[in-house]
Each structure stands twice: as structure tokens, then as C-alpha cells.
Amino acid sequence: MAWLFFGGALINLSTILEFAGPYYWQPYNLKNLFIPFLQAFATQVAAFSLLSFGYHFPHFQKPDRREYRFVRSLYILAHLGVQGLTYYNFIYLKQQHGIIGFEKTYYIVLYITLAAQFTLAVFLLLRKVVRFSRGKARPWWLKLFNPQGKDARAAGSLALVLVLPTVIVGVYLLENRAILPLYLATYFIWLIFLLFYSSFVVIYLAHTDERTTFQAKLVGVVLVFVVGIIGLISQGAFPTI
């Protein structure tokens, strides 16, 4: 989970760096050549950590070992491919040929890769709900909608929290159709992220098997809000410079 929020912190950092300075839109400075790679890497760290979390929460199960190794190898190759496309789109095409038509395709590939990992993480948590829910005689769909047991309820709660970022797609569509102004949509998006961060950590700390003091849990929640507020600042303040 620490790597998941480390990826989130890197995403916020990349946004701050992207909009820092009065001439942030100039394409051929060193900072703007570095930013696309940092953004791709940050989202990949967060998404892959979430996928790994789905396998390891609340503990890793030996029957999943072969599947985990296969999925991990597959996604490492996918991430390397995305980094290759980042170089191809932002350096090779733009610097040497001035071509910008591939950028839409690049972002489609990036978002599909991230969405696949996100969807798989939700599936893994829902599978844990069925596995850990008490009452073997009950059908799987009943275990899914009415989980019995601490681990099953925790996995179900986390899977439900993972649905929150999908609301961002709806906010983006409203902004794209000029129903919501850009500044309002930006704050809505980062408030949803803040709610996602806080809910995820609170549920995890409430159900983890590891012993944690109240002080440690309080510090963890505070850090989540700090990360979320940094995201709000990075999206809301720097574009007005």
C-alpha cells in the first residue's frame, strides 16, 4: 500500500513540476521532456502496486503464486512498452519530425493499460470476498453481496472504494461537454481522489492483521490528506501563474 501512495505522490509532484514557472507550456525545455516519463512512471507504480495489493490483501495465498507471476510479468512488459511509446511520442516524433497526431493514440494506450490493472485489482478483491466469506454452502453471489467474516467485509469495502475513481470519468465528460467549467471539474476530481485516499487507508488500517497503534493510524490518515491537498494545490494554483 505504501508503494500505491508513493505513486500518487509522484503524480502530484509531476503535476506541480509541469505547471511550475511562467512558461510551462514550452515543449522543448529539459523539464517538459522529463515530465511525460515521470507521469507515466508514477501512474504505473500506483496501478501496479494496487494490482499487487489485490493479490496480497489480507495475505497472499499459495494457489495464486503461478497466476501472480504470470500477471506480474505481463504487466512489466506492458509498462516497458508504454515507456517506449512515451519516448516515441514525446521525443522521437515531436523533436525530430514535429508530428503530434500520435499523441491521442498514446494516451488511449496508457489509459487502457491502467484501466486493465484497475479492473483486475477490483476483480481480485471481489474474489477474496468470495474466498474468505464464511458459509461454504452458500452460493458465490450471496457471499459477494452479503460477506460474512472480517477479511471478506474488508475486501468488499476496498473493492467498493476502488469504484470512486470511475466517477472522475463522469466529471471529465461533463467538463469536456462544457457542462462543468474547467476549474470546478479540476477541484471535483481531486476531491474524489482525496476521498479515495482517505477511505482506502481508513479501511485498511481498521482491518489489517498487523498491530498498529492509534497514533500510527492517525499519522497515516493525516498523511493521506496532505497528499490530497498537495494534489489540489498542484492542479488549482499553478495553472493560474
> Could you read off the pLDDT of 161-212 as tens digits, one per residue?
888 877 877 887 888 888 888 778 877 877 787 777 777 777 777 766 555 5
The set of cell numbers assigned to 225 is 490528506
Supply the DSSP symbol for 178. T
Contact 23, 212 (CB under 8 A): no
The tally of CA atoms less than 13 A away on the side-chain side of residue 119 is 6
Give the per-residue pLDDT at 74. Answer: 92
Domain span at 196 = 2-240
Higher pLDDT, 31 or 195: 195
Question: What CA–CA distances, in Å, run from 139 to 58, 142, 191, 210?
Answer: 22, 5, 38, 31
Quick one: pLDDT at residue 81? 93
How many other CB atoms are there within 10 angstroms of residue 32's CB atom? 17
Rounded to two decimals, the pTM is: 0.76
71 CA to centre of own chain: 18
For the segment 72-82, the average pLDDT, to the nearest whole number, is 91
What is the tally of structural domains in the chain? 1
pLDDT(153) > 50: yes
